[in-house]
Chain A
Amino acid sequence: MNKLMSSLSIFSSSRASLRRGLIGAAVTGAVLAGGMAPALAAEGAPKPHRESWSFAGPFGKFDQAQLQRGFQVFKEVCASCHSAHLLAFRNLAQPGGPHFSEEQAKVVAEGYQVQDGPNDAGDMFDRPARLSDRWPSPFPNEQAARASNGGAYPPDFSTLAKARTYEVGFPGFLIDIFTQYQEQGPDYIHALLNGYVDPPEGFTVPEGAFYNAFFPGHAIKMPQPISADQVTYTDGTPQTVDQYSRDVTAFMMWVAEPHLEARKRLGFQVMIFLIVFAGLLYFTKKKVWKAVHDH
């Protein structure tokens, strides 16, 4: 019943706010007599820089070494607060991803305990994770996660890289069709991870929050998650915040879209087929219609 009441109040409040928004906007609109600037100014956050990603474009592929480094960052840093409940240990050994060997993925899995059961005695029991298990979440439920993180819920990584975006605006959003720009999410995450700067003069950061140049509203509950040299890379890659953020963002993109490489590869084959087929049809059509065109 409680749940029902709270849901109801949400709906009525959303309805009321819609109404309020309409009236408020009508008044503002009348005063400003059609100026578009205030509406745009309301969305003032800086746009993330468009980074160069190996997985962008029609022939984009994940950089396997980068995904392995990104996984290391995720495992050693992010995973202590963020879940990735759709990621299975077996995924780590799949082609088109970090592509660890099956043995390596097994070793990773065995480092975690998961609950199984009930057994013949009817008891639940813990056992080391197998390849078929999903990545164990750091908290048993959302409430526990909030309680440990100052009231904020660290979002799940499963689809996060596709669940974040920023407004491109006109005419950029049309140009993006032709340039195949689909990396709003990764660009935003990279910008956010590097966006912990001193707040501008006059901005009061609320208690328990941190200033971030790219977070909507600028007050983020996540403290700067990583600092230089926090994760030890074994392949000589620079251990900077920028490098960590690139690596973990690429990893997050793979977690969100594990078949990206297969999609682009098949896409190229389909495109070639369709273009050749269209060409053949065009000339056949021309030949068939030739007789009609003349009389």
Chain B
Amino acid sequence: MSGHATFEPKNPALKWFESRLPLVGLIHSSFIAYPTPRNLNYWWTFGGILSLMLACQILSGVVLVMHYTPHVTLAFDSVEHIMRDVSYGWLLRYIHANGASMFFIAVYIHMFRGLYYGSYKAPREVLWILGCIIYLLMMATAFMGYVLPWGQMSFWGATVITNLFSAFPVVGPTIVEWLWGGFAVDNPTLNRFFSLHYLLPFMIAGVVVLHIWALHVVGQNNPTGVDPKTPKDTVAFTPYATIKDAFGMVCFLIFFAWFLFYIPNYLGHADNYIPANPLVTPAHIVPEWYYLPFYAMLRAVPSKLGGVLTMFSAIIVLFFVPWLDTSKVRSGVYRPLFKQFFWIWVLVCIGLGWLGSKPAEGGYIIAGRILTIWYFAHFLIILPLLGLFEKPKAVPASITEAVLGKKGGAPASVGVSAPQTKG
């Protein structure tokens, strides 16, 4: 991982500054000279895309706050004021609302990528756990953000989710009253959610800094899962990774813009255009799409406390994946059985998401139970056992060998017999 240029300023002013605070050197070593594996595919651009989305959400959010009023009698109309009277307010609000969904699409792809290529394995456990913490913070932030427009789904979503905490014995009701700031979801709830919705993104940004720091200590994983061994295995972050990330980001923005400009309410719920009314319960209370798999798990368990614990466990189990996966081989590319189970698990997650949007009745409940059991079995049974019984394919000796072997014609390569599975 050595052999790339270090930062040596020529300019005397910069030299003076650099010897006192090596800030430019830090940027240089992190985003210019930083060695990245030469074989990263486009699934690796989602880290950059997520940084872009975080910045996009914070910027649009800060401007929205200039026009929003966090009060139960004014919140709904102030959002509509943004949509109608603020210059490009409709754009800001649709960016922020759809941006949240885009943020989650990107984070799910980023997590699936990590799980497929074994990016959580030693020495990247802390990196993975920091990522899980970011995901939890994102869920809390998005939930509170959805409450702010104070529409019907805002209100009833907040009511259902905060009520979940009442399932805990002894402390449950106290926690719920504390969350509400009273005895029902009302103005104090809206105010504290607003305050926390503004705070949490900056906490996310802080953990993102730790996440990137940890990444730069252990280095990036890559589709082969083989650590870089020679300078030939890596390329400098700039221009190679920057240009590839930039292309990935712009492609993602095209996808974002499709929703933003043409179907901005597709990912939302029509009921949230009805002002909140504590006396009228919507026919189906449905959370935002990114919570649906967990919502399905919640409803799959017949006891309320059991459902809540199942739902939280579904996220907590992710923290332990580095130790639940017993395989010595890092990348799923060389694990024929794991690969199949991985895709089954992806389908299970999507299936749970679909079930979460359906009413909790009949066959939906049964299907929800089967898929919930499979979700946990994947982590608690399949992953530990696969490592013991699976016979992995031969792993290439180096990244360069894997890349040039793939091209087929390189005479220097001795690993032609190495597996050629595409990531």
Contact = CB atoms under 8 A, between A and B. Distances in A.
Interface of A: 4, 6-8, 10-11, 14-15, 18-19, 21-26, 28-30, 32-39, 42-43, 58, 86, 91, 155, 158-160, 162-165, 170, 176-177, 180-182, 184-185, 216, 256-259, 262-264, 266-268, 270-271, 274-275, 277-278, 281-282, 284-285, 288-289, 292-293, 295
Contacts of B160: 14, 18
Contact of B304 (A19, A185, A271): A19
28 contacts: A6-B279, A7-B184, A8-B184, A10-B281, A14-B159, A14-B160, A14-B281, A21-B361, A25-B362, A25-B364, A26-B365, A29-B364, A34-B363, A38-B361, A42-B359, A43-B359, A176-B266, A185-B270, A259-B83, A262-B90, A263-B264, A264-B261, A268-B261, A281-B247, A285-B243, A285-B244, A285-B246, A288-B243
B379 interface: no
Contact of A29 (B94, B257, B271, B365): B365
A289 B38 CA distance: 10
Contacts of A182: 262-266
Contacts of A259: 83-84, 90
B299 interface: yes
B240 A180 contact: no
A278 B270 contact: no
B194 to A, nearest CB: 20
Contact of A292 (B235, B253, B261): B235
B250 interface: yes
B199 interface: no
B361 A42 contact: yes
B363 A278 contact: no
B363 A29 contact: yes
Nearest to B364: A39
B184 A267 contact: no
B159 A24 contact: no
Contacts of A164: 270
Contact of A258 (B77, B84, B247, B263): B84
Interface in B338-377: 354, 358-367
A259 B94 CA distance: 12
A44 B72 CA distance: 35
B261 A270 contact: yes
Interface of A, secondary structure class, is helix
A267 B261 contact: yes
A177 B273 CA distance: 20
Nearest to B359: A39
Given A155-B274, A264-B261, 12 more contacts: A10-B281, A19-B304, A22-B365, A26-B302, A29-B362, A32-B363, A35-B363, A158-B80, A180-B263, A259-B83, A263-B91, A267-B261
Interface of B: 38, 77, 80, 83-84, 90-91, 94, 159-160, 163, 166, 183-184, 186, 235, 239-240, 243-244, 246-247, 250-251, 253-254, 257-258, 260-266, 270-271, 273-274, 278-279, 281, 283, 299, 302, 304, 354, 358-367, 404, 407, 410
B326 to A, nearest CB: 34
B307 to A, nearest CB: 8
Contacts of A43: 359
B254 A271 contact: yes
Contacts of B250: 274, 277-278, 281
Nearest to B361: A25
B250 to A, nearest CB: 4
Contacts of A35: 362-363
Chain A CB within 10 A, most for which of B273, B274, B359: B273
Chain A CB within 10 A, most for which of B77, B240, B250, B260: B250
Given A22-B302, A165-B270, A216-B283, A271 B359 contact: no
B272 to A, nearest CB: 8
Contacts of B257: 267, 270-271, 274
Nearest to B253: A274
Contacts of B251: 278
A86 B278 contact: no
B361 A24 contact: yes
Please name the 5 residue pairs, one residue from A and one from B, whose CB atoms are nearest each other, closest first.
A267-B261, A163-B273, A165-B270, A25-B361, A159-B273
Given A29-B362, A38-B362, A8 B243 contact: no
Contacts of B265: 162, 182
B353 to A, nearest CB: 12
Contact of A22 (B247, B264, B360): B360
A247 B184 CA distance: 42
A162 to B, nearest CB: 4
A253 to B, nearest CB: 12
A179 to B, nearest CB: 9
